Amino acid sequence: MPDGLRPAIRVLFAVTLVLVFVLSVLKVSVGPQFRFGDKVGHALVFFLLAALAQASHAERRVVARLMLALLAYGLFIELVQALLPWRDFSLWDWGADGVGIALCVALACGLRRRFDASPRAAP
């Protein structure tokens, strides 16, 4: 990831965090659902957040802390939802958040290993 893009990705990450929170506390009328659709949605959203967090920083320690912070953020959202009469607290939702984060981390580690192991062109 070019370092010049990281500030823009950090802004996008912050905006996405705010948007996810706002959408998480709104009263929503739900359309057609499929089994586990809500959990898939949680996993996808947190996969996206984890990908933005990883792209926004180069240092692995910072990224690791951000992944833990995202997991805490998911729990925070669930706790806020517990206070709202139109929302519910769900450990399953929080677990789905963690699955999305873990999948993103696993994919990033696999890609990093693949590209670090590939032969580099001679200068």
- pLDDT tens-digit map of 39-96: 999 999 999 999 999 999 988 899 999 999 999 999 999 999 999 999 999 999 999 9
pLDDT at 120 over 90: no
Predicted TM-score (pTM) of the model is 0.85
Q: How far apart are the C-alpha atoms of 30 and 93, rounded to whole Å?
A: 16
CA–CA gap between residue 20 and residue 95 (Å, rounded): 16
Tell me how far apart the alpha carbons of residues 5 and 113 are, in angstroms, rounded to a whole number: 22
**How does DSSP assign 87-98, residue by residue?**
----HHHHHHHH
| DSSP SS3 for 30 | coil
